[in-house]
């Protein structure tokens, strides 16, 4: 993460609170894959997560039907969460830009380890919010004091009492 | 690594973090001081929640051998103080060493360690680890090239203490980190004696740091504990040495920790596999005591260091003292390194050599009235010990000498009492011991 990318806590919190539906590009049907962990967690937190993966198209992943491409996903997609490599991020970004108005896409979020500055610039020029090299699960957990339960450094210092959360 | 490119760096100051990091108000009750969660288990919402926790798919508590809210608060606080990604607390400093190596060592593997270590660590690494077929090669780190020469294909890590116990020795962390980096191995730094207040090992290239929280962090000699802090910046996949984190973990149905958890991998593994299966968990009460201790860490360490400097100068000028090994003395060969790696003082644990050898060393310790004769360091009380007859007695003469614990050596951990009372006690003990030794010789 020592990459010069600097997203403020408020910015990330704003995205995670505004978004309700997420298309997860590269979602895996296998329980021990990182994308499966993230999808499961985001579902627990109340997000609708639609898996996108041509190799698993038609299969069910965590109760949701998997689609071959973004364009096939039903309904609105607030955010595209990218579980692909940095190179593939370019094509997915162009797809997201093309579908932006039809699907209501506002955010393209590239997972931890994924960064494509050219794609990000195209997305931002088209009016999309772009996050790179972060995991929405980790950031959600960090901003809601759950990451701290694992002994992690959340970097959050506050004397404010949080509202106790029910799941 | 500079502050600005460390993603775990906080804009808040050290003193603010030692009071606040990891401990926001408890959300259910609003309790401002951290509650002691003196419980074993945590209720699941439903079977699916239980499954998610067991599969590590969601954050949360399952069973206190793996994690506990009070212990987690301490973990986050120590991680914050060293600008690490996460920390794993455990039953003792020895348990922390075990946990750190357990994550990646396989039978037949090796690591290199400095000879200048706490005596108990020399025994753990040299004797007990052998039972796991883990091999420790001890070398003198004063000449960093020795470390490079000791590298073997099976070597996975390099271990040293930033400010070494029993005394006065400072390791050239940057030079050693460079060798580790070149060799693709992990640098582990025991930062117990320096504490995060004086030294932050990740700023110099360490991948993990180790603490015996028993010492200055808890501070009052009440609570055993240990901690492994992960920098979060070591690339476990840079070569094939760290399969424990980069290959499917059989103890977790083939989960690959580094791929799944990224920079959270080590700390997740240390809890979910290390503590789960080694069982050396920190007690919640000890975590609470240590949290309290850390709240005043900077104040205590400043005074510890001030007192130690004065006591070292006093002993250095004493007729019955042969030498003093304290990095705060300009005459110390480690003074320059200490100024580079330690900020705000030179520690408070050091050794001195008495004129008259083994007998005189033992007698000085026995004649102290204020300084406590016991095996510990980093207490509010001044502690004194003759390592050759106690902590380092399991070692060969050669090992003891290499570790800085020869027959004439006395170790002192300077406390927070009135300075004049500490020096007066040492003065009378030295004089009485000299008389007794003289009489015995007659």
Q: Of the candidates B260, B293, B326, which is a domain's last residue?
A: B293
pLDDT of residue B251: 83
Residue B338: partners with Cβ closer than 8 Å, 6 or more residues away: B163, B170, B327, B328, B332, B346
Per-window interface: A 92-131 vs B, CB < 8 A: 112-113
Q: Write out the residue range of the structural domain in which residue A31 sits.
A: 10-70+97-127+134-144
Alpha-carbon distances, residue B96 vs B90, B92, B158 (angstroms): 6, 6, 15
Q: Of the candidates B231, B266, B293, which is a domain's last residue?
A: B293
Could you say which DSSP state residue B114 is in? Answer: E
Residue B26 lies in a domain: yes
What tokens does B282 get?
């920190």
* Same domain, residue pair B282 and B313: no
Interstrand relation of A48-52 and A21-25 (parallel, antiparallel or unpaired): parallel
Residue B8 lies in a domain: no
The distance of B271 to chain A (nearest Cα, Å) reads 8
The CATH number given to whatever domain includes residue A107 is 3.40.50.720
For B69, the closest chain A residue by CA position comes to A149
Q: For the segment B402-411, what is each residue's pLDDT rounded down to a tens digit?
A: 878 899 999 9
Of B20, B25, B76, the CB nearest to A151: B76
CB contact A160 to B (< 8 Å):
yes
Q: Are B9 and B60 in contact (CB under 8 A)?
A: no
Q: For the segment B132-154, what is each residue's pLDDT rounded down to a tens digit?
A: 999 999 999 999 999 999 999 99
* Same domain, residue pair B322 and B270: no
Q: What is the pTM of this model?
A: 0.94
Angle between helices A34-44 and A136-143 (to 10 degrees): 40
**What's the domain count of chain B?**
2
The helix or strand, by DSSP H or E, that contains position A131, with its residue range, turns out to be strand A129-131
Interstrand relation of B110-114 and B155-161 (parallel, antiparallel or unpaired): parallel
* Same domain, residue pair B284 and B320: no
In angstroms, the CA B309 to CA B418 distance is 14
Q: Write out the residue range of the structural domain in which residue B86 sits.
A: 14-293
The distance of A81 to chain B (nearest Cα, Å) reads 16
A150 CB neighbours in chain B (<8 A) are: 59, 67, 72, 86, 264, 267-268, 271
What's the length of chain A?
Answer: 167
Residue A107 lies in a domain: yes
pLDDT in tens, chain B (442 residues): 455 578 898 999 999 999 999 999 999 999 999 999 999 999 999 999 999 999 898 999 999 999 999 999 999 999 999 999 999 999 999 999 999 999 999 999 999 999 999 888 999 999 999 999 999 999 999 999 999 999 999 999 999 999 998 778 999 999 999 999 999 999 999 999 999 999 999 999 999 999 999 999 999 999 999 999 999 999 999 999 999 999 999 888 889 999 999 999 999 999 999 999 999 999 999 999 999 999 999 999 999 999 999 999 999 999 999 999 999 999 999 999 999 999 999 999 999 999 999 999 999 999 999 999 999 999 999 999 999 888 878 888 888 888 788 999 999 999 999 999 999 999 999 999 999 998 988 8
**What's the domain count of chain A?**
1
Beta-carbon separation of B24 and A162 below 8 A:
yes
Residue A129: partners with Cβ closer than 8 Å, 6 or more residues away: A15, A106, A107, A108
- Which alpha helices (DSSP H) does B82-157 contain, by range? 93-102, 119-126, 144-149
Burial of B296: CB neighbours in 10 Å, binned 0-12, 13-18, 19+: middle
* Same domain, residue pair B310 and B263: no
In angstroms, the CA B247 to CA B257 distance is 8
* Phi, psi angle pair for A163, to nearest 5°: -70, 125
Q: For the segment B29-41, what is each residue's pLDDT rounded down to a tens digit?
A: 999 999 999 999 9
Q: Are B269 and B103 in contact (CB under 8 A)?
A: yes
CB contact A153 to B (< 8 Å):
yes
* Same domain, residue pair B353 and B269: no
Of A157, A162, A167, the CB nearest to B21: A157
Residue B4 lies in a domain: no
Q: Residues of B4-28 as b/e, b for ≥16 C-beta within 10 angstroms?
A: eebbbbbeeebeebbbbbbbbbbee
Q: Of the candidates B244, B275, B293, which is a domain's last residue?
A: B293
Show the beta-strand stretches assigned E in A8-124: 21-25, 48-52, 60-61, 64-65, 79-82, 107-110
Give chain B's largest Cα–Cα span.
81
* Same domain, residue pair B365 and B223: no
Tracing tokens 């300084």 back to the chain, one arrives at B371
CB contact A148 to B (< 8 Å):
yes
* Same domain, residue pair B320 and B279: no
* Same domain, residue pair B226 and B287: yes
In angstroms, the CA B96 to CA B365 distance is 30
The CATH number given to whatever domain includes residue B347 is 3.90.1150.10
């Amino acid at each position: 993460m020592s990459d010069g990318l600097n997203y403020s806590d408020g910015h990330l919190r704003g995205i995670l609170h505004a978004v309700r539906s997420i298309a997860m590009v590269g979602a895996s049907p296998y329980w021990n894959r990182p994308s499966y962990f993230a999808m499961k967690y985001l579902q627990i937190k109340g997000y609708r997560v639609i898996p996108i993966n041509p190799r698993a198209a038609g299969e069910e992943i965590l109760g949701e039907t998997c689609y071959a491409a973004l364009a096939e996903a039903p309904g609105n997609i607030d955010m595209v969460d990218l579980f692909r490599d940095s190179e593939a991020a370019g094509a997915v970004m162009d797809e997201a830009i093309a579908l932006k108005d039809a699907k209501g896409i506002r955010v393209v979020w590239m997972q931890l380890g994924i960064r494509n500055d050219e794609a990000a610039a195209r997305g931002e020029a088209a009016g999309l919010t772009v996050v790179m090299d972060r995991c929405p699960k980790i950031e959600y957990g960090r901003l809601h004091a759950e990451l701290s339960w694992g002994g992690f450094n959340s970097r959050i210092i506050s004397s404010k009492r949080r509202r106790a959360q029910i799941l | 690594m500079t502050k600005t490119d460390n993603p775990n760096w906080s804009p808040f100051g050290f003193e603010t973090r030692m009071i606040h990091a990891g401990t926001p108000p408890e959300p259910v009750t609003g309790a401002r001081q951290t509650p002691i969660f003196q419980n074993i288990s945590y209720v699941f919402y439903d079977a699916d929640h239980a499954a998610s926790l067991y599969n590590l798919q969601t954050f949360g508590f399952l069973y206190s051998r793996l994690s506990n809210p009070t212990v987690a608060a301490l973990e986050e606080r120590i991680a914050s103080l060293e600008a690490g990604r996460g920390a794993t607390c455990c039953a003792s400093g020895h348990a922390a060493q075990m946990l750190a190596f357990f994550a990646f060592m396989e039978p037949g593997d090796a690591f290199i360690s400095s000879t200048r270590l706490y005596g108990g660590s020399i025994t753990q690494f040299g004797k007990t680890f052998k039972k796991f077929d883990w091999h420790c090669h001890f070398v003198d780190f004063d000449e960093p090239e020795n470390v490079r020469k000791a590298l073997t294909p099976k070597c996975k890590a390099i271990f040293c203490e930033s400010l070494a116990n029993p005394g006065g020795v400072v390791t050239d962390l940057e030079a050693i980190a460079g060798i580790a980096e070149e060799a693709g191995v992990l640098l582990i730094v025991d930062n117990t004696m320096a504490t995060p207040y004086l030294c932050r090992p990740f700023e110099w290239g360490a991948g993990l740091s180790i603490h015996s929280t028993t010492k200055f962090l808890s501070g009052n000699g009440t609570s055993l504990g240990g901690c492994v802090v992960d920098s979060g910046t070591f690339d476990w996949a840079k070569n094939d040495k760290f399969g424990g984190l980069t290959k499917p973990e059989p103890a977790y149905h083939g989960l690959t920790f580094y791929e799944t958890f990224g920079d959270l991998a080590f700390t997740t593994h240390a809890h979910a596999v290390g503590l789960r299966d080694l069982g050396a968990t920190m007690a919640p009460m000890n975590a609470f005591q240590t949290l309290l201790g850390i709240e005043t860490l900077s104040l205590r360490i400043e005074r510890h260091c001030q007192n130690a400097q004065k006591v070292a100068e006093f002993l250095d000028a004493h007729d019955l003292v042969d030498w003093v090994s304290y990095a705060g003395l300009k005459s110390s060969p480690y003074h320059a390194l200490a100024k580079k790696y330690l900020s705000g003082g030179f520690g408070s644990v050091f050794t001195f050599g008495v004129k008259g050898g083994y007998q005189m060393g033992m007698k000085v310790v026995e004649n102290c009235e204020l300084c406590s004769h016991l095996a510990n360091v980093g207490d509010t009380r001044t502690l004194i010990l003759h390592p050759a007859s106690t902590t380092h007695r399991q070692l060969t003469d050669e090992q003891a000498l290499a570790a800085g614990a020869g027959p004439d050596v006395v170790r002192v951990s300077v406390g927070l009492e009135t300075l004049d009372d500490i020096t007066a006690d040492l003065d009378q003990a030295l004089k009485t011991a000299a008389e007794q030794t003289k009489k015995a010789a007659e």
